[in-house]
Amino acid sequence: MKLLASLTLAAVVSTLSVPAMAQFQKPEDAIKYRKAALTVMAAHFGRLGAMANEKVPFDAKAAAENAAIVEELSRLPWAAFGPGTDKGETRAKPEIWTEQAKFKKGSDDLVAAAAQLNVAAKTGNLDNLKKAFGDAGKTCKACHDAFRKD
Amino acid sequence: MKLLASLTLAAVVSTLSVPAMAQFQKPEDAIKYRKAALTVMAAHFGRLGAMANEKVPFDAKAAAENAAIVEELSRLPWAAFGPGTDKGETRAKPEIWTEQAKFKKGSDDLVAAAAQLNVAAKTGNLDNLKKAFGDAGKTCKACHDAFRKD
C-alpha cells in the first residue's frame, strides 16, 4: 500500500503543477502544436507498451527515461485546445468544446496516470510497469473514444 | 564566474545523459517524430524569445517552465535521424548523413545550450535569459543553415 500511496501523491502533485501556457498566434499553430506533443508522447508511450507487453525485453533504465518523457509531455497538449481551434487539420470532435468539464477530467486523468506511470517505471519492476501502463492506456482510450474522430 | 561555471557543468552533465532510443518501425515514423519534437521545442523556445525580446513582460515562472520543456525536448529529435530517414516528408539535407560528426556536434551544441538556457531561466534574471536565449538561437540557426532545406 505504501507504493500505491506514493503513486497517488505523485499523481496529485503533478496534476496541480500543470502549466497553463496558451500562447498561440493562430489556431493552426495550436493544432499543429497539440498534435506534435501527442505524437512525441505516443512514441515514448509505445516503447513502454512494447516492454509491458513483453515484445521487447524489460530495460529498467529505458523504461524510466521513456516514462519521464511521457509524464512531461502529458501536460502539454491541453492548453492548445482553446476557442477557435476546432476547425482545420484536426480530428478533434466538437464535444471537446461543448463538454469542457468532461474533456478537462479526461486530460487530468491522463496527466495523473502518466505521473503514476513514471513512478511505477522508476521502481524497476515490470509488474508495476504493466499495471501502470494499462491504467494509462485506458485514459488515452477514454478520450479518443469520446473526443476524437476516427 | 560562478554562474558561468555552473552553467557549463549543467550543460556537460546534460549532454552526457542524452538517451539513445532509436526505436521506430518505419522511416516515416522517425520523420514524423523528429518534426513533432522540434515543433514542440520551437513553440516553447518562441515563448522565451518573446520575453527575451521584450515583446511580452518577463515572467520568471513561465520562463522557467518553458525552458525546462525546451531542455527536455532538445535531447529527443536526434535519435530519429537514423539511416534511411533521409527521404519523404522532410527538409533534411543529405549532409546530415554524409557529415555525421558535424551534425552530431551541432545537435550536442543545442542540447548544451538548452541546458544553459534552463539554468539561466531559473535565475529569474531577464539579462541571463537574454544571453542564454541568444546563444541557444545561434545553435538552432547553425544547424538549420547547414542541414535544412528552406
Q: What is the pLDDT of residues A57-100, one digit of tens each?
A: 999 999 999 999 999 999 999 999 999 999 999 999 999 999 99
Q: State the best of B16, B17, B23 to mutate against chain A, taking most chain A CBs within 10 Å.
A: B23
Q: What is the pLDDT of residues B36-92, one digit of tens each?
A: 999 999 999 999 999 999 999 999 999 999 999 999 999 999 999 999 999 999 999
CA distance B51 to chain A (A): 12
Q: Does A28 touch chain B (CB under 8 A)?
A: no
Q: State the best of B39, B61, B66, B85 to mutate against chain A, taking most chain A CBs within 10 Å.
A: B39
A40 to B76: CB separation less than 8 angstroms, yes or no: yes
Long-range contacts of A108-112 (CB under 8 A, 24+ apart): A108/A15, A108/A18, A109/A139, A109/A142, A110/A74, A110/A136, A110/A139, A110/A140, A110/A143, A111/A11, A111/A14, A111/A15, A111/A18, A111/A74, A111/A75, A112/A11, A112/A12, A112/A14, A112/A15, A112/A139
Q: What are phi and psi of B148, to 5 degrees?
A: -125, 130
Cell numbers that stand for A59 in this block: 530495460
Domains of chain A and CATH, by start: 25-84+92-147 (1.20.120.10)
Q: Does A60 touch chain B (CB under 8 A)?
A: no
Beta bridge partners of B92: B148
Unique residue bearing C-alpha cell 504493466: A130
In this predicted model, which residue has the larger pLDDT, B1 or A141?
Answer: A141
Residue A92, SS3 per DSSP? strand
Structure ipTM:
0.85
Unique residue bearing C-alpha cell 549532409: B95
% of chain A at pLDDT higher than 70: 85
CA distance B2 to chain A (A): 30
